[in-house]
Structure 1
Amino acid sequence: MELTLFLECYALVEAEIQPTKHSDTQVELFHQYFSSSVLYQFCMHRQEERPRIHKKIFNFLLKESAGSLSCINEDDLKKEQMSLPFLKFPGLVQIEVIKQLELRDVFWLSLCSKHMKHVIRSAELRPKRVHYLVAYNRIQVALRFLEHNDNVHPLVLVRRISYGDTKDLKKMKMGGATIKSRFIKSTESKNFNHYLEYLHSEQNVVINSLQLHINYIFRNEPRVQINVYCTDSLSLSTLIKNAKDSFVIQRLFSTATLEYFLKRHPTLESLHIKSNFTDEKLQEDAKLWKLDRLAFRNSEDMTPMLMRKFNGRYMILDNSNYSKEFWQELIRKWIRRESYHNLQAVITRTHHNLFRVINWREFWAECNAMKWDGLRRPKHFKFDPKIIDFGLYEPEEIDCSDYIDIQQTGGGKWASIRDTGYAVHFFVWD
């Protein structure tokens, strides 16, 4: 039996069959034969998520496969070990079957053969993002098909092993390279029932091959995102290429480590950090200032430096320590067009009420600020920072009818600002 047949057989026997057209005996024969396949058993691990295939496709497959199943008896099936030649089915049928499968199963299928890899590529599955979740000795890969409000779909888990434990390692092809790995049933993860293990000595080749393979089967070039969960996983994360977005979470983080991470990921456009920094020694030319979108969950004493140096579009600083001077400096430079040329939104939040710290009345007179008149700019600001946020910074339309408006010199752009006491919002209108 070809390795690529099991999923189609599975889809057939699990279809919504009309008893008047397909007898119970036929379905039972499918079960009896194909349940002996190791790969069939592998993909049957979650009964509640069995793929479904349209009745018309089921009828078509029965018609096109080996004439008529009604002429096949159980003894003949056992003797000849008949199978459905999936790769001989029309391309549209192959693609429709693939689209019914869980993405984890699609990935394992793509490793069965070069031909099957091409078939899956032709299905044109189009995820928006590929998430690489990096933690010490493993990388979990998941997909997202919508920019927002979409579940993350597990794809594959790969794990590094020590030099001594090499039992059952076998050669396999992935991403154009030959690697040594083994297929392990997982008891640790609820998202992955199986995973691949590889030798530490082959780590660079394996991670590179993994990404190349994923890039090939999803040819729409989905956006690459890296989530890093500890300092020990930083070096492993640098093996992932062309990352656009990253989320870093760990207890302590030095600015030197941050700069190393950014240098190893020169394509990054957005960064979200949930860490406490051990120092504030970022250089004038630090790569952090060149990011397009930046979020700090605990900016604290780094807030003044971040507000002065940032040159991107979106910046969100939570648990920040700021004062009137920091905000006045930013607004003055923006009005005079001295800096913040690309700025679209800045939000600072604090746990302390700052009404007594920032008195805006005199400063508004200096800036020729005015209340919104309902004409000069829209009522709602479309806030969409596109930062890895886990629900904290989802896109929304923010009502700015009670914001104060200011304008750049020389008839430039308008911006709106509001101080709630616990947060300051600053939005620039295009």
Structure 2
Amino acid sequence: MKLFKFPYLVQQEILHNFEYKNLFLISFVSKNMKKLIRSSQIERFKSTNSIVYDSNEQLVCIPFKNTLDRILQVSDRFNHYVYFKNSYFPLDVAGKIIYFRICDISRCLVAFCHPWETAIQSIHNYFLDLFGSSVEYRWRTWNQPEFFIPQLQNLSALSISCGVKLVNLKKVQDYLSSSSPVFKRVDLRTRYLTFQNHYGLFYSLIYGDQHTTEELFPPESNLYQAESIGVTQRELATPAVLRHFQGRQAFIKCDMCKDQDLIEFVNRWKSGEAFQKLEYLTIGVCFNEISQNQILNAIGAKYIDAAKRPPRHTLPKVHIKFHGANPNTPKILSHAYVVRESDNRVASVLIQGRIFKFGVWNKTEQEFLKMV
């Protein structure tokens, strides 16, 4: 290939201007080409935020702010294979022969796999060998007839929507319990048609099943041990995260949130009983406003002089959703704060309408007040 006739720096610059899908495509030319891509694009790959496997779209892509860089499309439809049969060609993907064609529209590779779950392990191993372990590999799945999450090496983030089937939630818990190490980020969205009875149990109006959040995700679940967690449960409030979370950053959206749950959370943090690693928590409530004065009084909040500007709390996010996204947590600017008894550490507390924010400072109360 003519590329190898150029000096290394020229080769590097040429490849740097290739789109990811084209780098993936030409990596199959030879072992030397794959080796050149790995060595010459190492800094570029390190700056790549993540590679996403989307099980609904059957797509491998790199997300950016306003677009997706499609690297590989997967098709499991026989009628498509038959229609494009003469366009397919075999490639060795990490020891597995998979048939590909080049899409006329996107110009990216289309792999035929039926079902695609049988080939995802080989596809992932190939990407891992090409892009390396510095890239964050994420699996995204939404409500499907066949709910599937694979065991993939170096998979560090999950984005899951479980739909209305309780069996899918159980599959998520079974998967998390068998995964090691714990995930860097877990996004969990449930969409139940439910109501809450006076015993605090949740019923599925479709299946008639009865569960508490602790039964579905017990305190020892790896869900609560993820470094960062995003929970969206539109039809039911879930205080379980407030009780069991052991990670660093939590982002929660729910329909209802009891004041007592927030009071209990802050008091447990203050006592040093729980949330030792917590850096940032935000809760957005859809329907009811949060009782600001009642909660601040109950948690024994302290206050910075109203005439002074409070310090702004923000820190690097554990998980950045896409390339170009804000790398820092949303700011907390509040005169109210609480102090942890065990080490005199400070946390800013902000309550605005239906929003609750809690940001922990790596400073004692004395150090914190010097910032004012």
| TM-score w.r.t. length of structure 2 | 0.76
C-alpha distance in 1, partners of 2:180/2:93? 26
1:339–1:88 CA distance, 2 compared to 1 (3 A): same
* SS of structure 2 residue aligned to 1:405: strand
Q: How does 1:111-260 map to 2 (within 5 A)?
A: 111-124=28-41, 125-126=44-45, 127-136=47-56, 139-143=58-62, 152-162=68-78, 167-168=85-86, 170-175=89-94, 177-186=95-104, 192-200=106-114, 203-204=117-118, 206-219=119-132, 221-232=134-145, 234-235=147-148, 237-254=149-166, 255-260=169-174
Q: Is structure 2 residue 43 aligned with structure 1 residue 91?
A: no
Q: How does 1:390-405 map to 2 (within 5 A)?
A: 395-396=328-329, 398-400=331-333, 402-405=334-337
Deviates more, 1:406-415 or 1:216-225: 216-225
Contact conserved, 2:246 with 2:275, CA < 8 A, in 1? yes
Equivalent position to 1:421, from 353, 359, 366: 353
Q: How does 1:15-414 map to 2 (within 5 A)?
A: 85-124=2-41, 125-126=44-45, 127-136=47-56, 139-143=58-62, 152-162=68-78, 167-168=85-86, 170-175=89-94, 177-186=95-104, 192-200=106-114, 203-204=117-118, 206-219=119-132, 221-232=134-145, 234-235=147-148, 237-254=149-166, 255-263=169-177, 265-267=179-181, 268-277=183-192, 279=211, 280=213, 281-282=215-216, 283-298=218-233, 300-355=235-290, 359-360=294-295, 362-364=297-299, 367=300, 369-372=301-304, 379-387=311-319, 389=321, 395-396=328-329, 398-400=331-333, 402-414=334-346
Unaligned runs of 5+ in 1: 5-84
* SS of structure 1 residue aligned to 2:331: strand
C-alpha distance in 2, partners of 1:202/1:422? 42
Higher relative contact order (CA 8 A, sep 6+): 2
- Give 1:165 deviation, angstroms: 5.4
Letter in 1 for 2:337: D
1:198–1:186 CA distance, 2 compared to 1 (3 A): same
Letter in 2 for 1:216: D
Partner of 2:367: none
Contact conserved, 1:381 with 1:398, CA < 8 A, in 2? yes
C-alpha distance in 2, partners of 1:207/1:356? 48
**Fraction of identical pairs, as percent:** 17
Partner of 2:199: none
- Give 1:335 deviation, angstroms: 1.1
Cα-Cα RMSD: 3.3
1:410–1:89 CA distance, 2 compared to 1 (3 A): closer
- Give 1:219 deviation, angstroms: 3.5
- Give 1:172 deviation, angstroms: 2.0
- Give 1:135 deviation, angstroms: 2.7
- Give 1:338 deviation, angstroms: 0.9
C-alpha distance in 2, partners of 1:428/1:303? 22
- Answer with 1 or 2: which has the greater Rg: 1
C-alpha distance in 2, partners of 1:203/1:298? 28
Unaligned runs of 5+ in 2: 193-203, 205-210, 363-372
1:164–1:361 CA distance, 2 compared to 1 (3 A): closer
